Amino acid sequence: MSDDVVMQVMEGVAWVTLNRPDSMNAINNGVREAIPRLLDQAQADDAVRVVVVQGAGPKAFCTGADIREFNPVASLALDRQRRVHANWINAFERVRKPVIASIHGYCLGGGLEIALCCDIRIAADNAVFGFPETGLGFLPGAGGTQRASRVLGLGLALDLVLSGERIDASQAQRIGLISRLCEASALREQTAALAAKMAAKPPLAMQLAKEAVRQGHDMNLANGIRLEADLQTHLLNTQDRLEAAAAFREKRPPKFTGQ
SS3 content of the chain, % helix, strand, coil (to 5): 55, 15, 30
Question: Binding to ligand COA by residue 65, rule CB under 6 A?
Answer: yes
148 interacts with ligand COA by CB under 6 A: no
Beta strands in the chain (DSSP E): 5-10, 13-18, 50-55, 60-62, 99-103, 106-108, 120-124, 128-130, 167-168, 180-182
The footprint of ligand COA on residues 77-136 (CB under 6 A) is 106, 108-109, 132-133, 136
**Interface with ligand COA includes 26 (CB under 6 A)?**
yes
| Residue 64 found at the interface with ligand COA (CB under 6 A) | yes
68 binds ligand COA (CB under 6 A): yes
Which of the ranges 48-56, 60-68, 80-88, 171-179 carries the binding residues for ligand COA, by CB under 6 A?
A: 60-68
Q: How many residues bind ligand COA (CB under 6 A)?
A: 15
Burial class of residue 76 in the structure, from the number of CB atoms within 10 Å of its CB (0-12 exposed, 13-18 middle, 19+ buried): exposed
If the CB atoms of residues 23 and 190 are measured against ligand COA, the closer one turns out to be 23
Q: Hey, which residues does 101 pair with through a beta bridge? A: 53, 121
Q: Is 55 in the site for ligand COA (CB under 6 A)?
A: no
Nearest to ligand COA of 109, 202 (CB atom): 109
DSSP state of 24: T
Compute CA 30 distance to the chain's CA centroid, rounded to the nearest angstrom: 18
- By the rule CB under 6 A, 73 interacts with ligand COA: no
Q: Which of 67, 227, 101, 259 is nearest to 169 (CA)?
A: 101
Q: Indicate which residues carry an active-site annotation.
A: 113, 133
> Which of 17, 63, 191, 238 is close enough to bind ligand COA by CB under 6 A?
63
Give the shortest CB-20-to-ligand COA separation in angstroms.
Answer: 9
Q: How far is the CB of 45 from ligand COA (least distance, A)?
A: 31
Task: Output the DSSP codes for 55-91.
Answer: E-SSSEEE-SB-GGG-----SHHHHHHHHHHHGGGGG
Q: Please identify which residue in 13, 18, 24, 182 interacts with ligand COA, judged by CB under 6 A.
A: 24
Count of CB atoms situated within 10 Å of the CB of 30: 16
What is the smallest separation between the CB atom of 63 and ligand COA, expressed in angstroms?
A: 4
**129 versus 256: smaller Cβ distance to ligand COA:** 129
Torsion angle, CA of 248/251/255/259, rounded to 10 degrees? Answer: -20
With contact defined as beta carbons under 8 Å apart, do 16 and 195 qualify?
Answer: no
Q: Which residues bind ligand COA (CB under 6 A)?
A: 23-24, 26, 63-68, 106, 108-109, 132-133, 136
